[in-house]
Amino acid sequence: MKLTVLFRAFLLLAALAALLPVQAKDRRLLYLPLDERFTTRDLFLAYARITPYRVVTPDRSMLPRQKIPPDMGAMLAWTERWAKEADAAIISADMLLYGGLIASRTSTETIERIRPRLQLLARLKQLNPRLIVYVSTTVMRMPSYSSSEEEPDYYALYGRQIFLFSQHLHRYELLGDPRDRELAEKYRKQIPDEVLADYLQRRQRNLSFNRELIALVERGAIDRLSITLDDNAEFGLFKKEATELARLAHPLGSRVLIYPGADEAQLALLAKLIARDQSARIRVVYRFPQASKLIPAFEGQPLDESVRQQVAASGGTIVEGEADAILFINNFPDRQTFAGAQPQVSTASVKPLEAWLASRNAMPSSRAILILADNKYYNGADVELVTALLQSRFPSERIAYAGWNTSGNTLGSAIALGILRLHMPPTRLPEYKRILWARLMEDWVYMVEGREQIKRDMERRGLRSFAGTPLEREYEQRMEQLFNQHAPIINRYLETDFFVTRVFFPWHRPFEIGFEIGAR
């Protein structure tokens, strides 16, 4: 009799448990990265380690290698297989459709050949009805300089002319100045017809698929879509395309966001996934409030507009009063310039971070997070801010920091880290501090000092590249030494004992670096 009662009680408890929502700790996250870079894939995986999700992602051997595309058949098969088992997916459409960010610009595949890949994305929820699908995509960039390193080969010869043609054409369409029409025609004549036709066809292909991605949001196949403008400006075909996409997406509200950025977009989606049921209240404070409407380098809209969009993309809400986090933006007072060319800073003359915060009434409450978006320079940290941080007594476990490449990269990665910190289980604090350590090491030590050392050395030797030469290994060793020379001061502030065990250049060039971290 007792056994029967116990058995019935067990069945009742089991039935009740089945009605309860599955906890995040039991969930699996499918992650299809933008590309194979350390600064995209590995950074996302590091962020994900402070969440309760278990990430499944393609092995590095399945991914592209800069301009070498992956096996798309294997990529699609992998995605279909794991989509059936995952609870959520963060997918780069650039990877799923073209084979990565670079391939989205250089691939010669036709719309007809690519469309079946989009159809897989459209039916993921049919394969797995419980799947939450977040997708990122880019508006194809258009560098203002001539280089084929990440573009079609002909961009090395005609890139500058293509950019100027695009800029003046768009300006004329918006402003009607005859001078812009004349300049657009001038630069068009400097570009071979077949080159311009091919380039415009690539842009049209990407625009067409971005339209279709918006349609998938409308149909419910995609829950959230981030469309980012990679390396853009105030005028150009990229802005014209983004305007069209914004018009199409307008009825969908916050389910589709369009803003400057690219490499950080999936970090924002991760933060939004974690915070989707509880928006983070964020108070925004600018170091130079009078300059908040200036336009950052490589972007085409005011900084404060991007701030609002990046906060929303990561699952935050901007507030004026009590907040879960203070977003302190170290913005530029007049024009955003290159971090590697910033003036030297005397450590003794820098006030601790607390003084910076007090001057702007930005000191967080005892439980709030301080998000430092280091936007003063592009391509690296502000040495003055990092010095102020490392001299401060503000608890390192309540700091989120980034001072990355573009303003959008910095904003998105800093805000996402802060929101993830708000939701982070206490047991993940060592992994969180590892992220902070890596950010300071890359954004400050490498981008401001290490990369400039390499560039000067290459100029002295008369070299444009070190790929595949013994010099690459020499630079790896020199950067490992540099990192570990700076490790003690970062460890002192973070109360950690990390060091760099290995350095490598993912694309065999000095622009980006990768490194592995050990702990004593």
The pTM score is 0.93
Closest CA to 280 of 301, 311, 303: 311
Q: What is the pLDDT of residue 20?
A: 35
**Contact predicate 300/232, CB 8 Å:** yes
Distance CA 207, CA 138 (A): 9
Q: What is the pLDDT of residue 22?
A: 39
Distance CA 421, CA 429 (A): 9
Alpha-carbon dihedral of residues 458, 464, 467, 473, nearest 10 degrees? 0
Listed in sequence order, the residues at least 6 apart from 262 whose beta carbon sits closer than 8 Å to its beta carbon are: 34, 101, 138, 141, 228, 229, 230, 231, 408, 409
The pLDDT tens digits for 295-306 are 999 999 999 999
From residue 353, how far is each of 212, 286, 386, 393, 399 by CA, in Å? 47, 14, 9, 8, 11
Q: Residue ranges of the alpha helices (H) in 176-321?
A: 178-189, 193-219, 237-249, 265-274, 303-313
The helix (H) or strand (E) run that includes residue 504 is: strand 498-504
Q: What are phi and psi of 5, to 5 degrees?
A: -65, -45
Q: Which residue type occupies 283?
A: R
- Reply yes or no on whether the pLDDT at 196 is more than 80: yes
Listing DSSP states for 304-356 in one string gives HHHHHHHHHHTTEEE-SSS-SEEEEE---SS--EEGGGPPP--GGGPPPHHHH
Q: What are phi and psi of 444, to 5 degrees?
A: -95, -65
The pLDDT tens digits for 205-251 are 999 999 999 999 999 999 999 999 998 999 999 999 999 999 999 99
The token duo for 424 is 């982070």
Listed in sequence order, the residues at least 6 apart from 155 whose beta carbon sits closer than 8 Å to its beta carbon are: 143, 146, 147, 148, 162
Q: What is the pLDDT of residue 366?
A: 87
The pLDDT tens digits for 101-139 are 999 999 999 999 999 999 999 999 999 999 999 999 999
When the pLDDT of each residue in the chain is averaged and rounded to a whole number, the result is 94
**Contact predicate 229/260, CB 8 Å:** yes
Average the pLDDT over 57-77 and give the result: 96
Listed in sequence order, the residues at least 6 apart from 87 whose beta carbon sits closer than 8 Å to its beta carbon are: 22, 27, 28, 29, 130, 131, 132
The token duo for 249 is 């997406």
Cα 355 from chain centroid (whole Å) = 30
Three-class secondary structure of residue 286 per DSSP = strand
Listed in sequence order, the residues at least 6 apart from 441 whose beta carbon sits closer than 8 Å to its beta carbon are: 483, 486, 487, 490, 500, 515
Q: What are phi and psi of 286, to 5 degrees?
A: -100, 140
Q: Is 260 left (phi over 0), alpha (psi -120 to 50) or beta?
A: beta
Q: What is the pLDDT of residue 270?
A: 98
Instruction: Let me know the angle formed at the C-alpha of 263 by 40 and 331, rounded to the nearest 5 degrees.
Output: 120
Count Cβ atoms within 10 A of the Cβ of residue 324 and give its class: 0-12 exposed, 13-18 middle, 19 or more buried. buried
**Contact predicate 333/382, CB 8 Å:** no
- Reply yes or no on whether the pLDDT at 283 is more than 50: yes
Q: What is the pLDDT of residue 231?
A: 87
Listed in sequence order, the residues at least 6 apart from 211 whose beta carbon sits closer than 8 Å to its beta carbon are: 245, 248
Per-residue confidence band for 420, with pLDDT thresholds at 50, 70 and 90: very high
Per-residue confidence band for 178, with pLDDT thresholds at 50, 70 and 90: very high
Distance CA 298, CA 303 (A): 12
Q: Which residue type occupies 306?
A: S
The pLDDT tens digits for 131-162 are 999 999 999 999 999 999 999 999 999 999 99
The proportion of the chain whose per-residue pLDDT surpasses 90, expressed as a percent, equals 92
Listed in sequence order, the residues at least 6 apart from 518 whose beta carbon sits closer than 8 Å to its beta carbon are: 498, 499, 500, 501
Distance CA 210, CA 239 (A): 14
Closest CA to 241 of 115, 321, 339, 137: 137
Closest CA to 515 of 483, 487, 470, 486: 483
**Contact predicate 133/199, CB 8 Å:** no
Average the pLDDT over 34-41 and give the result: 93
Q: What is the bridge-based pairing of β-strands 399-402 and 316-318?
A: unpaired
Per-residue confidence band for 8, with pLDDT thresholds at 50, 70 and 90: very low
Q: What is the pLDDT of residue 26?
A: 64
The pLDDT tens digits for 337-393 are 999 999 999 988 999 999 999 999 999 998 899 999 999 999 999 999 999 999 999
